Amino acid sequence: MSKLFENYARWDIEIISGNGTKVYDSEEKEYLDFTSGIGVCNVGHCNPSVVAATETQLKQLWHTSNLFTHSLQEKVAEKLVQSSMGAAVFFCNSGAEANEAAIKLARKYTGKSKIITFNKSFHGRTFGTMAATGQDKIKAGFGPMLESFIHLPFNDLQALEKELDHETAAVMLEVIQGEGGVNPANEDFLQGIEKLCKEKGALLIIDEVQTGIGRTGKAFGYQHYNISPDIITSAKGLGNGFPTAAMIGTEKVKSAFNPGSHGSTFGGNPLAMSAANATLDIIMNADFLAEVEEKGNYLSEKLDDMFAKVPEFKGTRHKGLMIGCEFSKEVSDIVTQLRQNGLLVITAGPNVIRLLPPLTVTYEEINEALEILANTLIEQKQLV
C-alpha cells in the first residue's frame, strides 16, 4: 500500500535511468521518451555537459542563501536577459512560483489587482496560480478562489477589449496553451493584447514555463509573434530536470521589487544555477534553435501524413518540438499502447496526443518513433 498521497494517476512503470532521448525501466525495457518529463529534459536525459557542471558544483558548494552575492546567479541571469526582452531576473523553484512572482510584481508595479487570463490556460497549482488557471477541473473542491482573476475566451480580442480597463494590472497568457491542448494564440490576438495593455497601462505577462528554453524553436515562444512582454516566466527546461525557475522582467518593472518584496530560500541555489548555466549554453544558440524548428516541422508533417489515415484525426498543431495531434475521440488507449510498444508520449486534454521530445532528439530517433506509432496504429486497427 503506497504511503504517498494519490494525487497523481501514475503509470505502472518505473523509469530507472536515462540517456539522451532513451530511458530504461526497472525491467531494463527501453523507451523513446517523447515527453522529456513534460517538457523538462530539453537537452536530453543526463546530458554530459549538464552532468559535468552539476558534478563539479556538487563537490564545491550546494547552498548558501540569497543573503550572499552570487556570481553564478548573475551569469545565468545575464544569459536569460541576453536571450529575451528582460533586464532583471528573480530565481525560484517551479513554474507556479515563477508565475506567483509575476503576479506579485504586476500588482506592486501597477498598484492594481485585476488580472485577465484565458479559458483552458494552465498557470500552476498554488492558490494564486490556481485562481489564474482557466480550467474548472484544477479548482474543483478548493473554492472559493482568490478574487481578481478574470477568465476570457482565448483568441477573442473583442472580449478582451470589453474587459481590459484602467483597473487592470496585467494580462497573463501562454502563447501556446500546453496543458489546455497545445492551442496556439493567433498573432493578431497577441499583438492586439500588447497594444491594449499599453493603452490601459496594464502589463503583459507571458507564461513561458512550457514554451520557453528553446521548446518552440526560439529562446522563448513569444519571439515568434513580434511582441515584447513586460514579464515572462520560465521553469521546466531551465535546469534540464534540476528544479529551478525564473521570472524575468523589463527595465520598466525592475524597480518595483526592492529588498524584502519577495524571496525564496532555495531560489537560484548554486546547484540549480550550475544546471541552468550548462543548459542555456547549449540551447541559446541560433543554429541549435534553427534545428529544433526543422526537426519540429519534419516530425509534425510525418505525423499529419500518418494520422490522415485515422478517420477521427482532426489535425496537428506545432511550433518547434511542442506538438499536439487532435482527434475527435479520446486518445488514452493509443497513448497506453504506445507506451507498451516503447514510445512515451502524453495527452493534453482527453483528445490530444502531445509530443515533447528532447530538443536534442536525432532524426533517427524521430523515424524510430514514427515506426512505433505506425505499428501501434495498425495493431489497434485505427487506420483505414
Q: Convert residues 26-65 into a mask of x (bound to ligand PLP by CB under 6 A) and - (unbound).
A: ----------------------------------------
E strands present in the chain: 15-19, 22-25, 30-33, 88-92, 114-118, 149-152, 168-173, 176-177, 183-184, 203-207, 231-234, 245-249, 313-319, 322-327, 343-344, 346-347, 352-355
Q: Is 257 annotated as a binding residue?
A: no
What does the alpha-carbon distance between residue 334 and residue 352 come to, in Å, rounded to a whole number?
A: 11
Instruction: Say whether residue 123 binds ligand PLP (CB under 6 A).
Output: yes
Instruction: Say whether residue 95 binds ligand PLP (CB under 6 A).
Output: yes
Kindly tell me which of 96 and 377 has the beta carbon lying closer to ligand PLP.
96
Q: Is 96 annotated as a binding residue?
A: yes
Instruction: Say whether residue 128 binds ligand PLP (CB under 6 A).
Output: no
Q: Is 125 annotated as a binding residue?
A: yes
What does the alpha-carbon distance between residue 374 and residue 58 come to, in Å, rounded to a whole number?
A: 43
What does the alpha-carbon distance between residue 89 and residue 82 come to, in Å, rounded to a whole number?
A: 11
Q: Is 209 annotated as a binding residue?
A: yes
From first CA to last CA, the distance across the chain in angstroms is 44
What does the alpha-carbon distance between residue 285 and residue 265 come to, in Å, rounded to a whole number?
A: 31
What does the alpha-carbon distance between residue 261 and residue 205 come to, in Å, rounded to a whole number?
A: 19
Q: Convert residues 230-269 into a mask of x (bound to ligand PLP by CB under 6 A) and - (unbound).
A: -----x----------------------------------
Among the residue ranges 76-84, 203-211, 335-343, 368-376, the one whose residues contact ligand PLP (CB under 6 A): 203-211
Look-up: residue for cell 536534442? 360
What does the alpha-carbon distance between residue 105 and residue 343 come to, in Å, rounded to a whole number?
A: 41
Q: Is 182 annotated as a binding residue?
A: no
Instruction: Say whether residue 365 binds ligand PLP (CB under 6 A).
Output: no
> Residue with CB nearest ligand PLP?
95
Instruction: Say whether residue 122 binds ligand PLP (CB under 6 A).
Output: yes
Instruction: Say whether residue 100 binds ligand PLP (CB under 6 A).
Output: no
| In the complex, minimum distance from the CB of residue 346 to ligand PLP, in angstroms, rounded to a whole number | 11
Instruction: Say whether residue 215 binds ligand PLP (CB under 6 A).
Output: no
Q: Give the three-state DSSP class for 202.
A: coil
Binding residues: 95-96, 122, 125, 207-210, 264-265
